[in-house]
Amino acid sequence: MRGEATLYTDAVVTAPFALAVIAEATGSHVVGARTADAHVPLYSGPTSARVEIAGFGDSVPVTVDVRDERGTDEARAAAQALGLELAAYAGWEVVAGF
């Protein structure tokens, strides 16, 4: 049962840039860059981060969806860890949506 947890940020950046920041902050890499399925694998497990932008040309903050194949509890734990890393690495304000 796959789980998902959402993080809301104050970062107004492009999706590719946000994915690059997530990859740098976590010591990972971007998979499928410049595709609709672009994501960053997290924490050497079945966990990944995907970025959503509200719409083309919109100037709104980035939303990060953290997915974990093991379930919601694992996705939430990974999202909390990622939020702390993004705050420390990039200075983003991050709020959990769960």
Q: What is the pLDDT of residue 44?
A: 78
The identity of residue 49, as a single letter, is A
Predicted confidence (pLDDT) per residue in 50-88, tens digit: 998 766 566 678 999 999 999 999 999 999 999 999 999
Element of type H or E holding 88: helix 72-90
Handedness of CA 23, 28, 34, 35 (dihedral sign): negative
CA distance 41 to 31: 8
- Domain ranges in the chain are 13-92
pTM (2 d.p.): 0.90
* pLDDT in the model for residue 21: 97
The pLDDT tens digits of the residues spanning 30-53 come to 999 988 899 999 987 899 999 987
**Is the model's pLDDT at 26 over the cut of 70?**
yes
